[in-house]
Amino acid sequence: MRILALIRVFTMGKKRIITKTEEELLKEKEKVETALKREIKAKILQKVKEGRIYISSSYNNTILTLADLRGRVLAWTSAGLLGFKGTKKATPFAASRVAEAMAQAAKKLGIEKIEILVKGIGSGRESAVRSLATRGLNIVSIKDITSIPHNGCRPPKARRV
């Protein structure tokens, strides 16, 4: 069933009814929403001088996320996004390239001070931190927020062969 919006156009003579389909209404709604998002983002970016960079380093990939102090994400990048594929995504070289891209994004946004929060046990942890430091960002603190299980899940039953 199609939903139609009816708009009456009053002229001197006849009344004409302009009908809009559901698709046209959705397009208009999207335009308004994107314009609002742009305005909000522009206001946020004007105020930001400090930020946090979250480094998530796993055995498969390295992901860096730049957020303001309230936790709103401003930019993110990963080894896969930069074109590394397969096992190359988890290398320290890929992590340093990702950190360089993030440093450029931070400078473009006008961020001066950053806190670094490292999570995960991948090989790209230290190389990402080192390349952020060499790119000229003022690093306030470095924290390791890797989660540690306190007894964790029950282990699987012993295998009988």
Does 45 or 5 have the greater pLDDT score?
45
pLDDT at residue 45 in the model: 66
pLDDT at residue 20 in the model: 74
For residue 48, what pLDDT band results from cuts at 50, 70 and 90? confident
**Contact criterion met (CB below 8 Å) for 144 and 129:** no
Q: What is the mean pLDDT of residues 113-123?
A: 95
Q: What is the mean pLDDT of residues 132-153?
A: 92
Compute, in degrees rounded to 10, the torsion defined by CA atoms 74, 107, 76, 43.
10
Q: What is the pTM of this model?
A: 0.70
Domain definitions of the chain by residue range: 16-46, 49-144
For residue 15, what pLDDT band results from cuts at 50, 70 and 90? low
Query: 79 burial class (0-12, 13-18, 19+ CB within 10 angstroms)?
Result: buried
CA-to-CA distance for 33 and 48, rounded, in angstroms?
23
pLDDT at residue 33 in the model: 87
Average pLDDT, the chain: 87
- Looking at CATH, the fold of the domain delimited by 49-144 is given as Nucleotidyltransferase; domain 5 (3.30.420)
For residue 119, what pLDDT band results from cuts at 50, 70 and 90? very high
Does 9 or 49 have the greater pLDDT score?
49
What phi and psi, each to the nearest 5 degrees, are found at residue 141?
A: -155, 155
